[in-house]
Structure 1
């Protein structure tokens, strides 16, 4: 670094990180399985942006690396397609910029608020996954619930 350049301090904000389900139920009665989602690969880490609209949380605004381009994208997606919600400090300038540019809210300024919502979103996502399909799981099934049950 030259003496003429100044180092830009890295900002920090709190976001909720989650992972995209590896397999999701799809199609007639949920009997087909698809890897990940149309926009994200299964297992991808995404960041959930704070949303002020509504309290149902069926849809969340996320920032993550897109399936096809590998660049960061901001999209709304179903909560049922996410799991393992946790509060994390974010230092990435790109993620922080996209968070500020989003019209839905922004980043959390303290850890406690992010942790509180992350704790609520985990059970909500599991509930949305089970209530979305009224039919039994296909055999064999690799959806998030079945994968979780086979590990325990």
Structure 2
């Protein structure tokens, strides 16, 4: 029981540190068109099996990748075993409830009522894609990472 509580505390502390590390100290791009055109000109692209996924952001690519896995019958049982009761976390990606932190959503709902934790930096997204693919035995290749 102590191990579970210490793991939960570690995950919460890691999420807080991650959020602090991702604070934009120099402001954001006010011109939304510039931000969107950058993503349109430099999409994120991933291929696994016969499927090629493209997205305007790393986070959207991660969501699309997870959704493709959840919808695939081949991985259905493995993914169901990875789903925890409650909200997903940084280390336990799949849950059965949407999560939020300070009123901001940190997860999205996929098909089959499975929720995915999505509050990651671009670098962490790449690691989570790798981890998820490794856990499920999926061979994938990142074709473009803007």
TM-score class, shorter: under 0.3
- Larger relative helix fraction: 2
Please tell me whether Structure 1 or Structure 2 has the larger radius of gyration of its CA atoms: 1
Q: Which has the higher contact order (CA 8 A, sep 6+)?
A: 1
Return the TM-score normalized by structure 2. Answer: 0.27
Richer in strand (by share) = 1
